[in-house]
Amino acid sequence: MPWVLGIESSCDETAAAVVSHEGMVLADVVHSQVELHAPYGGVVPELASRDHLRACGPVVREALHRSGLALADLDAIAVTHRPGLIGALLVGVQIAKGLSFASRRPLVGVDHLVGHLLAPFVRRASPDGALSPVPSFPYVALLASGGHTALYRVDGPHASAIDELGGTRDDAAGEAFDKVAKLLGLGYPGGPIIDRLAREGDATRTPLKAPMAQRASLEFSFSGLKTQVAELVAKQPPRTHEAVADLCAAFQATATKVLVDKLVAAARLEGVRDVVITGGVAANSELRRRAEAASEKAGLRLTVPPLASCTDNAAMIAFAGACRFVRGERDGHALEASSQTLLPRRTHKGPKSAR
Ligand code: KG4
Ligand code: ZN
C-alpha cells in the first residue's frame, strides 16, 4: 500500500497530509490564512506567499509527526504545482523538491483541480465511524470553489480521463458569494455568512435572474448576478437585517439553482448515473439540499464528500499523487509551477479578444 505525503499551497491554505493509494488518511493538517486576508475582502497574493513560507515547514512536520511515519517510510511526495497563485505554488513546490531530494523519494506534481475532482475517494470516518461513500466511474462532478467553477466528466482517477464539460465565463461561484457579501458589508469569506443569513430570508421578495440559465449550455456566468445585486443595493440600500437576509436568500437561491440544474443536465447529456459536488461552495446548505432533491428526482446517485475534503486540503493532493505514482508517473526536480490547469478548457474566461 503506497503511502504518499501531499503538500498544498496553491491559494490561501497551507496543507500537508499522509494518505494511502486506497484513500486512507494517516494525517491531514490545514493551516488557513483566512484571518490574514479578511481585512482586504479577498486573497492578497503577496501576503499569501509570505505566510506559506512561514507555515509550510511546520505544517509538513506536523503531518509527518501525526502520521507516525518518517520520510524514509514514504513511497512518494506529491505537491500541487498548478493552477493557482504562482508565488504561493512555488513555496510548496520548492519544499517538496527539497524533501524529495533529501529522502530520495520520487516527486509527483498534482493539478489542484484533479485533486478536488478525486476528493470523494479520500476516506474519512463520520462521527458514527462509517466511512464516507465513494462514487463510481464515470461520474459528472460540479467543482465550485472560490477560484474555479466548472462541470467535468470523470472516467478514471487521472487527468487524462477527465474532461471539462463547461465552466464559468467570468467569476467563480465562491467568488460571487464573496463579492456579494462584500457589497452588503458582511465580511469575508462571504459564502458561509450568506448561507447563514439566507436561512432567515425570503428569496421570493427580490427577483434575480441567473445569466446563462438556459439548459442547452453547460457554461455559467456569475458576474452579472453580482451586478444585479450591486444595482439593487445602489438603488435601495437594505437598511434592516430582514432586507439583507432577503437579498442573501434571493442571491443564494438563484446561484444554487443554476448550479444544480446544469449538474443534472450534464449527467443526462453524458448518460451517467453518478454525480458529485465538490469545492468550498459544496459546503452550502441550499446547494446540498437542491442537489439531493434534484438527484433523487432524476434517479442519480449523489456523492458530496465531507467538508474537510471539499475545501482546500492536502489529503486530496496526496491521493491524486498516489494515483499517478501507481501508474508509474514521476516528475523530476525540474517540475515547474504554473498558474494554469493541465485539464483542457472548453470554456475560457473573459472576452474572446483577450484570449
Ligand atoms: O475550495 P475553497 O476552500 O478554496 C478555493 O479553492 O477557492 O473554497 C472557498 C470558497 C470561498 O469563496 C467561500 O466563500 C466559499 O468557498 N464557501 C461557501 C460556503 N463555504 C465556503 N460558499 C457558499 N456557501 C458556503 N457555506
Ligand atoms: Zn481549491
DSSP labels for 165-184? EEEBSSS-HHHHHHHHHHHT
Task: Give, for all 355 residues of the chain, the pLDDT tens digit.
Answer: 899 999 999 999 999 999 999 999 999 999 999 999 999 888 999 999 999 999 999 999 999 999 999 999 999 999 999 999 999 999 999 999 999 999 999 999 999 999 999 999 999 877 788 888 899 999 999 999 999 999 999 999 999 999 999 999 999 999 999 999 999 999 999 999 999 999 999 999 999 998 888 767 999 999 999 999 999 999 999 999 999 999 999 999 999 999 999 999 999 999 999 999 999 999 999 999 999 999 999 999 999 999 999 999 999 999 999 999 999 999 989 999 999 999 988 887 765 444 4
Q: What is the CATH number of domain 139-304?
A: 3.30.420.40
Maximal CA-CA distance, the chain: 63
CA of 281 to the centre of ligand 1 (A): 4
In this prediction, residue 156 carries a pLDDT of: 98
Question: Which ligand lies nearest the alpha carbon of 111?
Answer: 2
Q: Hey, do 3-128+309-326 and 139-304 end up sharing a CATH topology, with the first three levels equal?
A: yes
Question: Which ligand lies nearest the alpha carbon of 146?
Answer: 1
- Is residue 122 a contact partner of residue 23, using CB atoms and an 8 Å limit? yes
pTM, entire model = 0.95
Superfamily designation of domain 3-128+309-326:
ATPase, nucleotide binding domain (3.30.420.40)
Domain segments of the chain: what residues? 3-128+309-326, 139-304
CA of 169 to the centre of ligand 1 (A): 18
28: burial class by Cβ within 10 Å (0-12, 13-18, 19+)?
Answer: buried
Residues with CB under 6 A from ligand 1: 11, 145-147, 174-175, 177-178, 189-192, 195, 279-281, 283-284, 311-312
| Residue given cell 457589497 in the structure block | 183
CA of 68 to the centre of ligand 1 (A): 31
CA of 309 to the centre of ligand 1 (A): 12
Question: Which ligand lies nearest the alpha carbon of 80?
Answer: 2
